[in-house]
Structure 1
Amino acid sequence: MSAALPEPAPTEDIGVLVVDDHAVVRRGLTAYLESAEGIEVLAEAVDGKDALDQLQRLATEGRLPQVVLMDVLMPRMDGIAAIRAVLTSHPGVRVVVLTSFGELERVHAALEAGASGYLLKDADPDEVAAAIRSADRGEVHLDPTVAGRLTRRLVSPPTGLASLTARERSILALVARGMSNHQIAAELYISERTARTHVSHILAKLQLTSRTQAALVAIREGLVTPPSS
C-alpha cells in the first residue's frame, strides 16, 4: 500500500491595502475581497498620502501588504504620484489601479509609474481578485478594454490631433490664440523652455513647420474659435 501524499502547506493570504476617496467604493471592495479566497484586506486609505501613512504603519507592525489596490483620481495626492511614492518607499509592494478612467494617457502614466495592473471600475469582482493575484506573482494584468485600446494604438499609431497629449492640445489652443512661448509658460506655470519643447513636439507630430500652420489646424479642427473679422 503506497504511503499517503503529504498535504500541501497552507499558503499565506495576499495582504491588500484598498485606496479610494469614496467610502462606499472602499467598503464594497473590502467586503468582496474579504470573501475572496487567499486575499486579506489589511487596511483602507482615502487618498495617496493616507496610503503612504497606512503602509508605514503596517510595515512597522510587520504586516506590509503585498498589493495596493488604488484609484488614480484622488485629492491631496493622486494615484500616479502615489504609485511612484509607494514603489520608492516599499519596492516589494505591487500596485493595481482600479479607476473609472480608461484614457490611454492615464494608462501609460500608471504603467510608466510602475503599476502592475490597470482595471476599470466596471470590472467583474472576480477579475479584480485575479489582478491582485497576478500582481502578487509579478505579472501585469490589464482590463480587456484597456488592453484592446493599447493594442490598437500599437497597430495603428494615432495621427493628427489624436496624436497629441491633453497638455499638447491645450498648448496648441494657446498657440492658436497667438500666445508666445513666454506667455504660454506664464499661463500654464511652466518654464519657457518646457513650453518651447512642447510646441516643437506639437509641430513634429502634426508634421508642420510653423506656428501659423499649427494655429490654422487648431481652428480647422474646432479646438479654438476663429477670430471674428
Structure 2
Amino acid sequence: MQDVIGVLVVDDHAVVRRGLAAYLESAAGIEVIGEASDGQDALAQLARLASQENLPKVVLMDVLMPRMDGLTAIGAIVAKYPDVRVVVLTSFGETERVHAALQAGAAGYLLKDADPDEVAAAIRAAARGEVHLDPAVAGRLTRQLVSPPMGLTALTPRERTILTLVGRGLSNRQIATELSISERTARTHVSHVLTKLQLSSRTQAALFAIREGLIDSPG
C-alpha cells in the first residue's frame, strides 16, 4: 500500500466534492482520505490528518471559495506542509490566475472540464514531483511567452469592459454595480488593467481608452 496516493479534495460545492471523491476512489493507486469545503477547512483537515500521521500526498483544490480562497490556501499549505503537493482544479483558466497559483506553489493546474483520467494523471504527476498543466492552460502560457500581448490585445473581454467604465469615470463601486460583481472583484479587475497596460493611474487609463476609441473624448 506504500504506492497509494492519499488525496484531500477541497471544493465549496458538495456535489463536486462527492463526484470527485467517488471517481478518485475508483482510480488505481489513489485514495481519498478527506474532504474540505474551503481553504480554511482544508488547513483544519490537514492539521487533523497530520496529528494522525496520515497527511495526503496531494491536495486537489478549487480556487474561488468562501472564507479562504485556494491561492491563499496553497501558500499556507506549501509553507506548513512542504511534502504535500497541491493541484488546482477550477473553472477559471486566465493566465494571471495560473501564474498566481504556480507562484504560490501549485504543482498542477486543471480546468473543471478536464477528462477524469487527466485529473488522476495530474495527481500522479504531482506525487512524482512533476507539474501538470491543462493543455489549454499550457497553450495560453506558451503563446504568452512566445509573443507577449501588448496594448488592448493584452486585455480579456471583461477587462476591456472595465477599461471602458474606468474611462467613463466610474468608481470601483459603480463598476461593481454596473457589472453585478463585488467591489473587491471590480478593484482587482482595475488593478489587472493598469498592470497589463503599464499605467499608474485611472486618469491614464481613461486617456488610453479615449486614444483607443473605446469612449468619446469629452468636448
TM over 0.5: yes
Instruction: Tell me the distance in 1 between the aligned counterparts of 2:5 and 2:201.
Output: 55
2:87 maps to 1:96: yes
Change (3 A) 1:57 1:177: same
**Deviation string, structure 1 residues 17-43 (Cα, Å, up to 9, x no partner):** 000000010000000000000000000
Structure 2 regions of 5+ residues with no counterpart? 172-182, 185-189
Give the alignment partner of residue 135 of structure 2, picking from 144, 151, 154. Answer: 144
Normalised by the length of structure 2, the TM-score is 0.79
Letter of the 1:54 counterpart = Q
SS across alignment from 2:117: helix
Instruction: Tell me the distance in 1 between the aligned counterparts of 2:44 and 2:35.
Output: 11
Identify the residue that residue 177 of structure 1 maps to in structure 2.
169
Instruction: Tell me the distance in 2 between the aligned counterparts of 1:118 and 1:158.
Output: 22
Q: Which has the larger radius of gyration?
A: 1
Q: Percent identity?
A: 68
Identify the residue that residue 16 of structure 1 maps to in structure 2.
7
Normalised by the length of structure 1, the TM-score is 0.76
Identify the residue that residue 174 of structure 2 maps to in structure 1.
none
Instruction: Tell me the distance in 1 between the aligned counterparts of 2:113 and 2:75.
Output: 25
**Deviation string, structure 1 residues 183-208 (Cα, Å, up to 9, x no partner):** xxxxx89xxxxx9xx96x667x37xx
Give the alignment partner of residue 50 of structure 2, picking from 59, 62, 68. Answer: 59
CA contact under 8 A between 1:176 and 1:214: conserved in structure 2?
Answer: no
Instruction: Tell me the distance in 2 between the aligned counterparts of 1:54 and 1:39.
Output: 18
Structure 1 regions of 5+ residues with no counterpart? 1-9, 180-187, 190-194
User: Where do 1:22-33 residues align within 5 Å?
Assistant: 22-33=13-24
Identify the residue that residue 7 of structure 1 maps to in structure 2.
none
CA contact under 8 A between 2:166 and 2:202: conserved in structure 1?
Answer: no
Aligned length: 201
Instruction: Tell me the distance in 1 between the aligned counterparts of 2:60 and 2:74.
Output: 10
Give the alignment partner of residue 117 of structure 1, picking from 108, 121, 128. Answer: 108
Alignment RMSD: 3.3
2:68 maps to 1:71: no
2:133 maps to 1:131: no
Q: Report deviation, 1:89.
A: 1.2
Identify the residue that residue 40 of structure 1 maps to in structure 2.
31
Instruction: Tell me the distance in 2 between the aligned counterparts of 1:62 and 1:75.
Output: 28
Letter of the 1:161 counterpart = L
